[in-house]
Structure 1
Amino acid sequence: MSTPNGTGENGTDLADESAESTVVSDLAPQCTLDAVDSEGYYVGTVNGVVEYGVFVDLSDSVSGLVHSSNLNGAYDVGDELVVELAEVRSDGDVSFAEVELDEFSRKTVGPGEKITAATLSEKTGDLGHLDGRVVQIKQTGGPTIFQVRTTAGVVPCAAFEDAGVRAYPSIELDDIVRVVGTPEPRDDYIQIETNSLSTLTGTDETEVVEQLDARTSELAQPEDVDTLVDWPAFEKLSEDLQDVAQQLRETVLDGRPIRIRHHADGDGLCASVPLQHALERFIAETWEDPEAPRHLLKRLPSKAPFYELEDVTRDLNFALENRKRHGQKLPLFLMLDNGSTEEDTPAYRNLKHYDVPILVVDHHHPDPDAVRDLVEKHVNPYLDGEDYRITTGMMCVEIARMIDTEITDDIRHVPAVAGLSDRSDGEAMDDYLALAQEEGYTKRRLVDIGEALDYATYWLKYNDGRELVNDLLNVNCDDHERHEELIDMFAERAQRDVDAQLDAALEHVNHEELDNDAHLYRIDVESHARRFTYPAPGKTTGKIHDQKVKETGDPVITIGYGPDFAVLRSDGVRLDIPEMVAELKEEVPGGGVSGGGHLVVGSIKFVSGMREEVIDALVEKMADAELDEGLGSSAVLSEE
């Protein structure tokens, strides 16, 4: 059997890797004569042999004669040869001439003009071809929807078989493909109605991969923005925050879903909501399907300040179902305001079994050695010599601005809410409060927003409360008057419930003075506070603590405890709660001690039968702690 010069017996390209060789076009089956010009070289397949030459096909609709006078060899039906256009007669007949080439590279040519996400609307109704990477395959009750990423964005391509039958079953995620079809309007977007879909190989595949990689590198670059306030401590984190922003943008472009797991408190919401807003805008900008932001991004609150096995089991089950039912890749998990400690590692190991990537942005005291090998990126101020006063909300507002700088005006006030919610006394707090003041927020109003968020998340439980939380935080909220009314109502009800709780609980608070002259207040919140209502034990302990700080003006420690837990608050006393927990594990055998938090705010767990031993040992450590009047979990708030 004869083959065209430059190819082997199976028609594979011997010169595909030669960048300087002559390019020979291999027309796709749907190509018409419009794709052929007198200057080009083409691969023809012999479909008939006659005395005066051979007939060749260049595509399903392009055929012609190579006269014996223009042939250089003998060919059989099915052989390939390289030809050029010789003549198009007035009656439509086409003739070709064989071309001898020592070397050539073979390039597949699609029918019609090339289509990308940027040119969809211009090509509506016209047959064309689209090259890209398959990033999602979703089987509907009708067509199979292939989401194909081009250099300009992700385009939905609908391929029709019998209802509910998978079209092109050989096509898999991450394949480099050519889609031939027609862009057609569907509801409020445009999709390609597919005539054919095939994988690209050789130089065609290499060229598309190189183009996509170059464009990804360009699109994934974070926006170049200055931080909202000039804070030297933040400069240490700048490169890490940029890395997170870049990886999140790359993840969107790669078609991988993102799951945001955040602590369900004020700082966790101030971290997650701006990022959700920025990422949804970036998805909408780069995906043609208007449903993509809803499917690719989920915000998931966590009640515990760590990633619980209950949560990861549920998350992993949903991810595996979505991969099977909706053709999605397994998601990337973004842990916010939690995820830094050894308590997170059982959940991380579960995800590791499926090679699920994890990013962590947190400001709780970390166990870097415990999580290092389980996460791809760990951003925490403690790792750069700073501490909890740089809140997760402050960091994530900057990441959100790097993803989409246009949302800046919508989130200028958020770092101040985060700082007040998590009692940050960082040196930049005055600057953050001034920024919020410029946007019309007094310090008292920012505190109200934090209280309203805390009250709402308590009742929302595991629900993200998307629209309500957006309105409360005034991020992506379309009605400022509604925001104000909601804050008034939620903050008022939160204060009402706190007052009722304190009326019941304060009579049962026990007081003693420690050897270091700090005041210690204790309360059994399980027995002497209302259960299953707002505020929860941690919040109740914090409110009691705030009141005692105001009353005494001295260093104060407060412990709120139940059968198997204790919540700790401190002002003016340097409690290294994570270190205390580590020591208690060794010193109270059989105590089952675990927990953590910040230096002055935290919680511990233990087995109920060892409560007295654990708390007594804890109090002894508190009595030996160093006083530091500049260090606290609480701040007396002005009414400005």
Structure 2
Amino acid sequence: MDWITHDEDVWFDFRGNSPKQLTPGRFYKGTVDGFADFGVFVDLAPGVTGLLHRSELDRRLESLDWDSGDTVFVQVKNVRSNGNIDLGWSIRQSESEFRGARVHDPEGDADGDAIETDENDGPDPVKKKPKGASTKSRTGNGTEAAAKGGPSTAENETGNDESEGSSGDATEGAFEFDSETADDETADEDEAAGEERDAAGSDDVEDEVPSEDDEEPERVSVDSLGDRVGDLVRIEGEIVGARQTGGPTIFEIRDETGVVDCAAFVEAGVRAYPEIDEGDVVRLDGEVELRRGELQVETEDLTELTDDEADAVAQRLEDALSEKARPESVEPLAEDDAVDAITEQLADAAEAIRAAVLESRPIVVRHAATADGYVAGAAIERAVLPLIREEHARADAEYHFFTRRPLDDPVYGMDAATNDVTRMLQDNERHDEKLPLVVLVGVGGTTDSLDGLGLLGVYGASKVVIDAEAVDAEIEDEASVLVSPSLAEVDAADLSTGALGANVAGAVNADVTDDLAHLPAVSYWEGAPQAYLDLADGAGYDADRTRELREAVALEAYYQSYQDKRELITDLLFEDDGGLAGHVSEQYRIKLDDEVETAEANLESREIDGVDVAVLDADSYSHQFDFPPTSLLADALHRQAEDERSVTVVYSTDELFVRSDADVDVRAAAADAREAVPEGGITAVGIRQNRVEFLSGAREDVVDAVTEAVVDQL
């Protein structure tokens, strides 16, 4: 049975009754059974159904031109032990594109027999020429008969039968195309028509070259296409997507009013206009049609614009997007001089985020895995998700176009950036997704993040950096949009990352400001501005309730800190009547109090140049790999100090945290300590946390040197 060695060249008709009878690697003919958020179910036989997962598609699931009941071709990739069938995509979606067909009847005599197929299945051999050809026939009396599959003028005059070209599917159950005169048939008809003209000496048959008086299509906007079905139109815009189906090439074109799919067909599975790609500014002429209830333009001609023409279209798109995306006004959530001074920066950030939604560009939010960081990230999430739902009908759009990824280490370093770049390149390669907008909230404002930001920049990803504290000058050159009171030279000592993030969220979506009212107060462990306390109280959140929320979020932020916990955080911050937060907060308090009690009993008290310093060996006197993390334990010890000591230092194997009521320049302290202990490998790596890393072998000397360097600053 030589045909077994050529399974990839044929399709099989499965006549078995069990998934285990299928042969992985073969292509099978099936029927679309239904759709889910994660893929398509395809029946290969009665009771034998497989899943074509969305990750296997060569396009987005929502753009797949299949309906339930459609006949399709898929490849069986794997049959699992539980009977589940993993299916793969087949670019060939008609019988004629395979070299043959065979019966797969595991228990029958016909197994392996050839199947007679319809050679005319699939797209007509009469093909549309997208480049330099018109779908409207201008031959003979100027009728559209030839273009629509009817008799040509020459055929009518010579008494020939009607043309055999008829409307056919490029892919079974997918996009339909009107047949047109192919190159060879056009030549034959032109010759026949020419002979008739010469013989009759008549001018009845016009020259097939369009006259100079033929009017060009009218340039129209995408949002007007609904009123122009059947019309020949011209669209100018940017290619925002290009995908090859089993039939036509589908170009997504965006102008200043919207996006529309435009189909161009050469032959099944062959790329039309290969010189046109995503990002090109183009002019397209085509006929507006309704396909399965959706507007689509059947392409007649597609041309890339250059120089002044391209610049004019690009500027028109940019102006329209900016006008639509920029908020009309920005109102701070409460009276705050620092926020009031940066309303233009807030508007810039809001415009960038809203534009990403309008462009169908994924948004990735990075924030610290702390209560303050989660509040900021969740606030932006609360503002963006409704906008995504409005823009996209698909049920999972908010998960597809918005991702929030907490950072255990509140620095956007190379590890985090590499993770983001890897994911965005995979999504771009597999699903033609645009490069994301990366929003860094409280984690991208220092030079520690330069390498990570630079890696994003190499691939052209836009970066919005939002930081309540002073931002290093080098970051200004790396960020696409920067929001920080330090740029306005105002005192922002009382502004938290959560409060700033909530104000950004209010600028992004003013409709959710009521939902955000309590968030700034939740983000402060102590010293919350009265304006934010009053704002929360007015929304029904008193001091006890905001404390419970803060503690609950802090506890949940610790466990699997790299996960967004979207639903849980939403329940805590926006849907809870107090029961959930109260329960989690109680667990937080029990765990923290136990650790603090043990730690306080083992604090080493030092006096250096008249300054009281408390030092804790966290490896010896706290539970490793359990809540609270070392940084949070250092915070709690310093807040609960009864002796009003000036400095608290908590160290573990190869890192230490400094806490002080006075401002401490941890970079300078690390530099001084490095001179004293050059073998210690001392580096300030977490400026926002006053964190220093070192080599564990020199730990005792490093702790002494850093502590003395900090005291010298006081």
Question: How far did 1:204 drift?
Answer: 8.8
2:604 is matched with 510
Alignment check: 8 A CA contact 1:116 1:152 kept:
yes
Q: CA deviation at 1:28?
A: 6.4
How far apart in 1 are the matches of 2:261 and 2:582? 44
- Match runs of 1:234-633 below 5 Å: 234-287=339-392, 291-369=396-474, 371-385=475-489, 386-418=491-523, 420-421=524-525, 423=526, 425=527, 429-474=529-574, 479-481=575-577, 484-517=578-611, 519-548=612-641, 551-552=642-643, 554-571=644-661, 573-595=662-684, 602-626=690-714
**Is the deviation greater in 507-516 or in 191-200?**
191-200
AA in 1 matched with 2:566: R
Distance of 1:400 and 1:130 partners within structure 2 = 39
Deviation of the 1:565 alpha carbon: 0.2
Q: Which amino acid counterpart does residue 232 of structure 1 have in structure 2? A: D
Given the superposition, is the C-alpha separation of residues 294 and 150 from structure 1 closer, same or farther in structure 2, using an over 3 Å criterion? farther
Tell me if structure 2 keeps the 8 A contact 1:129–1:180.
yes
Uncovered stretches (5+) of structure 1, i.e. residues with no partner:
1-25, 37-46, 49-58, 68-72, 85-105, 627-640
Distance change >3 Å, CA 30–CA 363, structure 1 → 2: farther
Could you report, residue by residue, the CA deviation over 1:113-158 in whole angstroms, capped at 9, with x for unpaired residues? x6745876x88x8778683433234568998765443433445668
1:321-378: CA deviations, max 9, x gaps?
A: 1111111222222111111222112222322322323221113443323x33322233
**C-alpha distance after superposition, 1:99-122 (max 9, x if no partner):** xxxxxxx74348xxx6745876x8
Residue deviations 1:371-397 (CA, integer Å, cap 9, x gap): 333222333333433344322222222
Q: Within 5 Å, give how 1:214-233 maps onto structure 2.
A: 214-233=319-338
3-state DSSP class of the match of 2:552? helix
CA distance in structure 2 between the partners assigned to 1:521 and 1:321 by the alignment: 49
Change in 2 beyond 3 A, CA 1:215/1:473: same
Residue in 2 that maps onto 1:80:
210
Query: What secondary structure sits across from 1:307 in the alignment?
Result: coil
Go from structure 1 to structure 2 and tell me whether the alpha carbon gap of 1:346 and 1:574 turns closer, same or farther (over 3 Å shift).
closer
2:277 aligned with 1:172: yes
Structure 1 distance, partners of 2:561, 2:273, is 43
> 1:263: Cα distance to partner?
1.1
In 2, Cα distance between the equivalents of 1:165 and 1:531? 60
Query: How far apart, CA to CA, are the structure 2 residues paired with 1:541 and 1:445?
Result: 24
Q: Conserved in 1, the CA contact under 8 Å of 2:276 and 2:304? A: no
Are residues 239 and 503 of structure 1, via their aligned partners in 2, closer, same or farther at CA, if it must alter by over 3 Å? same
Structure 1 residues 527, 393: closer, same or farther in 2, change over 3 A? Answer: same
User: How many angstroms apart in 1 are the aligned matches of 2:568 and 2:265?
Assistant: 40
CA 207–584 in structure 1, closer or farther in 2 if over 3 Å, else same: same
Paired residue for 1:108, among 180, 202, 217? 217
Identity over aligned residues, as a percent? 28
Tell me if the contact between 1:177 and 1:200 (Cα under 8 Å) persists in the aligned partners: yes
Are the equivalent residues in 1 in contact too, given 2:441–2:466 (CA < 8 A)? yes
Change (3 A) 1:372 1:156: same
Cα distance, 1:440 vs. partner?
0.6
Write out per-residue CA displacement over residues 556-580 of structure 1, whole angstroms, 9 at most, x where no aligned residue: 3211101110012223x34333432
Residue 29 of structure 1 corresponds to 135
Q: For residues 115 and 545 of structure 1, do their structure 2 counterparts lie closer, same or farther at Cα, with a shift above 3 Å needed?
A: same
> Distance in 2 between the 1:448 and 1:330 partners?
38
Output aligned runs, 1:2-151, within 5 Å. Answer: 29=135, 77=207, 79-83=209-213, 107-109=216-218, 116=222, 131=235, 132-137=237-242, 146-151=251-256
* Residues 128 and 434 (structure 1), Cα distance of their counterparts in 2 relative to 1, 3 Å cut: farther
Structure 1 residues 368 and 458, CA, compared in 2 at 3 Å: closer, same or farther?
Answer: same
Alignment CA distance shift 1:453-1:489 (3 Å): same
- Give the counterpart letter for 2:701 in structure 1: E
Contact 2:217 2:234 in 1 (8 A): no
Q: Deviations over 1:431-477 (max 9, x none)?
A: 10000000110112112111111111211321111111111121xxx
For the aligned residues, what is the CA RMSD? 4.2
The TM-score with structure 2 as length reference comes to 0.65
SS of 2:535's equivalent in the other structure is helix
Range with greater deviation from structure 2 (209-218 or 142-151): 142-151
Shift of 1:603: 1.2
The alpha-carbon deviation at position 294 of structure 1 amounts to: 2.8
| CA distance 1:322–1:495, change in 2 (3 Å) | same
- 8 Å contact 2:330–2:347 — kept in the other structure? no
Render the CA deviation track for 1:69-127: whole Å, top value 9, x for unaligned: xxxx9x9955332337xxxxxxxxxxxxxxxxxxxxx74348xxx6745876x88x877
When residues 292 and 205 of structure 1 are mapped into structure 2, their CA distance, relative to the original with a 3 A threshold, is farther
TM-score (ref. length: structure 1): 0.72
Q: Conserved in 1, the CA contact under 8 Å of 2:246 and 2:269? A: yes
Letter in 1 for 2:332: T
Shift of residue 304, structure 1, vs aligned partner: 0.6
Question: Residues 373 and 514 from structure 1, CA distance in 2 versus in 1: closer, same or farther, beyond 3 angstroms?
Answer: same
Q: Does 1:192 align with 2:295?
A: yes
Partner amino acid, structure 2, of 1:314: N
1:143 touches 1:167 (CA, 8 Å); kept in 2? Answer: yes
Name the amino acid aligned to 2:580.
L
Report the Cα offset of residue 605 of structure 1: 0.9
Distance 1:142 1:466 in 2: 40
SS in 2 for 1:624: helix
Give the distance between the partners of 2:439 and 2:347, measured in 1 at CA. 15
Query: Residues 666 and 710 of structure 2 are in contact (CA less than 8 Å); yes or no, is this contact kept in structure 1?
Result: no
Q: Look up the equivalent residue of 1:577 and give its one-letter code.
A: V
How many angstroms apart in 2 are the aligned matches of 1:388 and 1:143? Answer: 59
* 3-state SS, counterpart of residue 352 of structure 1: helix
**Which structure 2 residues correspond to residues 196-215 of structure 1 after superposition, within 5 A?**
196=299, 198-200=301-303, 209=314, 211-215=316-320
Can you give the 5+ residue segments of structure 2 that lack an aligned partner in the other structure?
1-131, 143-152, 155-178, 182-192, 198-202
Which residue identity does 1:367 align to in structure 2?
A: D
What do the CA deviations read for 1:188-208 (whole angstroms, capped 9, x no partner)?
xx7435543753556997775
Q: Give 3-state SS (helix, strand or coil) of 1:508's partner.
A: coil
Deviation at 1:538, TM superposition (A): 1.2
TM superposition shift of 1:271: 1.6
